[in-house]
Amino acid sequence: MEGKKKIFSGIQPTNTPHLGNYLGAMVNWVKLQDEYDCTYSIVDLHSITIRQDPVKLRNQIKESYALLIAMGLDPEKSTLFVQGHNPNHAELSWILSCYTQFGELSRMTQFKDKSAKHPDNVNAGLFTYPVLMAADILLYQADLVPVGVDQSQHLELARNIVQRFNGIYGDVFTMPEGYITKATAKVMSLQEPTKKMSKSDENPNASVWILDDKDTIIRKFKRAVTDSETEVCAREGKDGIINLMSIYSAVTNKSFEEIEREFAGKGYGDFKLAVGEAVADMLAPMQAEFKRIFADKAYLENCMKQGAEKAYKASRKTLQKVQKKVGFVTF
């Protein structure tokens, strides 16, 4: 591990990931694990900033954890853990909140968006969400943080906290950088192809969940919104077709030109079926692995426990250093 750069990233256990999460972020997590010292967390603490059903949440935390392993993350090689299993996160978050200004948090666009979406539950956790995210990253002295653009403002805040804290106390935290992976594919909604595929879309045909079965996947692709033409090509205004082409390209590694040639003279029906089948076939081995792991409760629990222990040990040094620096009495 020594000498390797450190990576930290988190994923919320709300809803099963969709094809966009998978091709956009999760596939990259797997690729990074050989080159970097990676720590990945299921961020259950973050998820309760929006009201959750406890039974569903508990299930989704386990499901998300099993999915990470099924996707190819190796719990021996990387640290995979549930955020709430390591109390250091909540504790550092409190300390950092005293080094974060009210005004800074008020400017976070995600806070404004989520407050507007849930006006009946604008809780303090939603407001301090980015501080907890900073604590996640800083506890592990991460050099790089793979995040989508929607999280870049939060990462910028974490960087400001580092600058402020290190400015007062010396070099305590590593300055983290965003690791903007070129998404394998930017996946748009199958129903409104100018909008990103989203976990919270109300339309059941808009998103493909990575645990959907083959029939469901094919049905959703068959219903994908396209245009009134018949030609499979990436022309302006053909957002639906372009979306399907980039998904097909990500899954098969074929270029747009090759795809155009493959479907020249064929209709959208054939193309949609081919995309659906390609996606279903790509997901099938991971889904089988998921089923096996999810059914093995003892194995899953054991991995979670070991991950939590590894995470606790790796983060304890940072927390103790912080406690000392701010003037707490430590033993």
Residues with catalytic function: 114, 196, 199
Residues linked to residue 81 through DSSP beta bridges, in sequence order: 41
Q: Which is nearer to ligand TRP, 15 or 252 (CB)?
A: 15
Among 23, 26, 32, 43, binds ligand TRP (CB under 6 A): 43
Residue 323's Cα: distance from chain center in Å?
30
Residue (of 277, 322, 312, 320) closest to 95 by Cα position? 322
Instruction: Name residues contacting ligand TRP, limited to 163-222 (CB under 6 A).
Output: none
- Is residue 26 close enough to count as binding ligand TRP by CB under 6 A? no
Interior/surface letters 206-228, b for 16+ CB within 10 angstroms, e for the rest: bbbbbbbeeebbbebbeebbbee
Nearest Cα neighbor of 177 from 201, 147, 205 is: 147
151 lines the binding site for ligand TRP (CB under 6 A):
yes
- Between residue 86 and residue 145, which ones bind ligand TRP under the rule CB under 6 A? 133, 136-137, 145
Size, binding site for ligand TRP by CB under 6 A: 12
Question: Which letter does DSSP use for residue 172 in this model?
Answer: -
- Is residue 13 near ligand TRP by the rule CB under 6 A? no
C-alpha distances (whole Å) from 8 to each of 5, 51, 79, 251, 307 are 10, 26, 9, 26, 14
Beta-bridge partners for 209: 18
Choices 7-15, 52-60, 73-81, 214-222 (CB under 6 A): range interacting with ligand TRP = 7-15
CB 28, min distance to ligand TRP, A: 13
- Tell me which residue has its CB nearest to ligand TRP: 10
Q: Nearest approach, Cβ of 136 to ligand TRP (angstroms)?
A: 4
Here the tokens at position 287 are 């889904």
Please provide the distance, in angstroms rounded to a whole number, between the alpha carbons at the two ends of the chain.
28
Nearest approach, Cβ of residue 98 and ligand TRP (Å): 19
Q: How far is the CB of 43 from ligand TRP (least distance, A)?
A: 4
Shortest Cβ 175–ligand TRP spacing (Å):
14
37 binds ligand TRP (CB under 6 A): no
Q: C-beta of 12: minimal distance to ligand TRP in Å?
A: 5
Return the residue matching tokens 């804290």: 165
Task: Say which residues have a Cβ less than 8 Å from residue 184's Cβ, sequence separation at least 6.
Answer: 23, 24, 27, 28, 250
Give yes or no for residue 248 binding ligand TRP (CB under 6 A): no
Q: Considering the rule CB under 6 A, would residue 8 count as an interface residue with ligand TRP?
A: yes
Residue choice 7, 12, 242, 263 for contact with ligand TRP (CB under 6 A)? 12
- Of 122 and 233, which CB lies nearer to ligand TRP in the complex structure? 122
Q: Which is nearer to ligand TRP, 10 or 240 (CB)?
A: 10
User: Which string of DSSP letters, residue by residue, matches 249-300?
Assistant: HHHH---HHHHHHHTTT--HHHHHHHHHHHHHHHHHHHHHHHHHHHH-HHHH
* Chain residues in the site for ligand TRP (CB under 6 A): 8-10, 12, 43, 46, 133, 136-137, 145, 147, 151
